[in-house]
Structure 1
Amino acid sequence: MGQRLGSRWRMRMTKFAILLLGLISADGAAAQDADWTYKATIYGWFPGMSSSVDTRFGTVEADSSSSDALSDLDMAFMGSFSAQYGRWAFIGDLLYSDLSSSQDTPFALYGDGTVDVKTTAISGYVLYRVVENPQMLLDLGAGFRHFDVDVDVALSPGRRPAASQSFNGSWTDPLIAARLSVPINDNWFLSGFADWGGSGGDDETWQIYAGVGYAFDEKWSTQFGYRHMEISKELDGPDMSIGMGGPVLALTYNF
């Protein structure tokens, strides 16, 4: 079953690549007259985390809200860089976070369970602008996201002594993506981004972002919005599911 799903996914990605190649051919003349522009963005993301991890003790679930993000966040770094050439955009995004959350376990033999998740996600995209007018900019494309995830599950003592189990894994998922920008006036704008991907077998990932931005001048702008990311993967045998969602504050420099 997993092989069939993986084959279907590869066929869909192949069709999408053929469509992009067609767009390249159609837009070749316009691209020759284009100039490169760049954007560098640093952002703070303050997500709550919902996790479900299969362990040898049973399934451990833990949740934290966005209001708990600062206390649960041990370390984070987030940034992105993009280059625009005519209708084509090339985007790289780096996310590193160390989040933990605790919750009473359903096991009578232990107290609460703490799930600590260290996530490094490196995403890359190639997008093509399919709509460009004063009312809207819409880009579609494909890319990848590489994960390096460490999960530590700790159970506090109850009727039995404290126990723990750790999982880790690295993998890369192909993605399809869309980006939207809607100008409101000379300074304010709405923006959105979404992607989805996976192997079609034992892993899947998707994310969505929506926000409002303000341009101070031609070089500097800021954005405030909401971002949610889901990760599902079989790590060392057991299944892991992680959801992270919360507000985003970003600062962008254009050059």
Structure 2
Amino acid sequence: MAALVPAFAAAQQAASADTSTSSNAWRYSLSVYGYLPSLSGQSSANTPAGGPTIDIDAGKIVDSLKFTFMGAAEANNGRWGAFTDLIYLDLGGSKQSSRAFTIGHAPPPFGATADLSWDLKGSLWTVGGEYRVMADPVLTLDLLAGARMFALKPTLRWNVLGDAGLLQPVGRVGSASTSETVWDGIVGVKGRYAVGNNGKWSLPFYFDAGTGQSHLTYQAAAGVSYSYSWGELTAMWRYLSYDMKPGGSIDNLHFNGPMVGATVRW
């Protein structure tokens, strides 16, 4: 979910003007890409009348990505640059007679199951600046700093069957939906390593980490890119993690999977 496309734009021919730090001309890139991750994490919901929480293993409930939009833009002048990246996700799933839940953080009683449904709508927006510290034709390396916003709306629905333990009868069936916006500062590094004699193939990489309203967020990605006269195509593997502070509806979320993108430069 966030500023990975600048790593796409770093993959280019060795003779490209993008490896130069002496030009005063602005250069731009626009990217669209797709991300197909697996999901793991924990989510909680309060039950009525001050009862215990219902806590679920989201990775065992979610089975589909309903809709996604992903895009990014970057501008560079000499060693300096700026970027923005936006991801919108709508995912969810349901499980019948599941035991992938706890009641008040305790395992469900023997024989208890639940019909569970969990949906997550979320937007991740990253904005920041970068500075190129290495501009070798074989290796480019940028330092980056900025901020990432995660606006999320999880919705949990449950119907507990069998022995509900500490759960009051009124809390056996219910739903809860919350909205939360989390801002974090991030720092990181990105770049690419050119392979081959013609400079068309390269290995882009990216890493950032930060904190703020979340306890910790970080992401890492690496892959391969092929350059054309108009831009490049890139395939990467990406891991994105959020560990939230106590008290929210999301304890942690982790996205892990492949992504592919196309970048146009001018």
Q: TM-score with structure 1 length normalisation?
A: 0.78
Whether 1:169 aligns to 2:180 is: yes
Which residue identity is paired with 1:184? V
Aligned counterparts, 1:87-236, within 5 A: 87-102=79-94, 104=98, 105-106=100-101, 107-108=108-109, 109-159=112-162, 161-185=172-196, 186-199=199-212, 202-215=214-227, 217-234=228-245
Amino acid of the structure 2 residue aligned with 1:85: N
Q: Is the CA contact 1:126–1:143 (under 8 Å) kept in the aligned structure 2?
A: yes
- Aligned-pair identity (%): 24
Counterpart CA distance in 1 for 2:216 and 2:255 is 14
Q: Which runs of 5+ in 1 are unaligned?
A: 1-29
What CA distance in whole angstroms lies between the structure 2 residues aligned with 1:188 and 1:162? Answer: 55
Q: In terms of Rg, which structure is larger?
A: 2
Q: Whose relative contact order is higher, 1 or 2, with alpha carbons under 8 Å and at least 6 apart?
A: 2
Structure 1 counterpart SS, 2:59 = strand
More helix by share: 1
Residue ranges of structure 2 left out of the alignment (5+ in a row): 1-19, 47-52, 102-107, 163-168
| CA 145–230 in structure 1, closer or farther in 2 if over 3 Å, else same | same
Separation in structure 1 between the aligned mates of residue 22 and residue 191 of structure 2, nearest angstrom: 24
> TM-score w.r.t. structure 2 length?
0.75
Deviations 1:175-195 (A, max 9, x none): 102111111132111101111
Mean Cα deviation higher: 206-215 or 98-107: 98-107
Bigger shift: residues 164-173 or 123-132: 164-173
8 Å CA contact 1:167–1:235 kept in 2: the answer is no
Alignment root-mean-square deviation, CA: 2.4
